[in-house]
């Protein structure tokens, strides 16, 4: 294995962990869940939740697109660097 495989593998692992964390941090869309978990339904808590959910949703899209591009780049690098030249 060469250095680029180690580098892209490490970056892929970090991107996957970041994507998992961002998805887990998002709240569900179920009504009344905040009451069960002790959250108060006030004007400020609703707006705060929306802004945090919007932030996490934005970062989920960012990490998912980055992960997708990274996997494609990793495969392209693998094909380019491991292909053998044709025999003439």
Report pLDDT for 34.
47
Contact by Cβ (8 Å): 27, 57: no
Domain of residue 75 covers 1-23+48-83
**Average model confidence (pLDDT) for the chain?**
75
Task: For residue 38, tell me if it sits in a domain.
Answer: no
Q: Of 65 and 38, which is predicted with more confidence?
A: 65
Task: For residue 43, tell me if it sits in a domain.
Answer: no
Task: For residue 36, tell me if it sits in a domain.
Answer: no
Q: Of 15 and 35, which is predicted with more confidence?
A: 15
Task: For residue 71, tell me if it sits in a domain.
Answer: yes
Q: Total domain count for the chain?
A: 1
DSSP for 27-78? PP--TTHHHHTT----HHHHHHHHHHHHHHHHHHHHHHHHHHHHHHHHHHHH
Task: For residue 31, tell me if it sits in a domain.
Answer: no
> Using CA atoms, how far apart are residues 37 and 5, in angstroms rounded to an integer?
44
Is a pLDDT exceeding 70 seen at residue 14? yes
Q: Of 1 and 36, which is predicted with more confidence?
A: 1
Is a pLDDT exceeding 60 seen at residue 4? yes
Q: Of 21 and 48, which is predicted with more confidence?
A: 21
pLDDT tens sequence across 60-84: 898 899 889 988 988 887 788 777 6
Task: Say which residues have a Cβ less than 8 Å from residue 79's Cβ, sequence separation at least 6.
Answer: none
């Amino acid at each position: 294995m060469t250095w680029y495989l180690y580098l892209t593998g490490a970056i892929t692992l970090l991107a996957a962990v970041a994507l998992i964390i961002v998805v887990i941090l998002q709240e569900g869309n179920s009504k009344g869940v905040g009451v069960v978990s002790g959250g108060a339904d006030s004007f400020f808590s609703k707006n705060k939740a929306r802004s945090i959910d919007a932030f996490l949703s934005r970062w989920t899209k960012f990490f998912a697109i980055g992960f997708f591009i990274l996997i494609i780049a990793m495969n392209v690098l693998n094909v380019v660097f491991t292909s053998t030249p044709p025999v003439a």
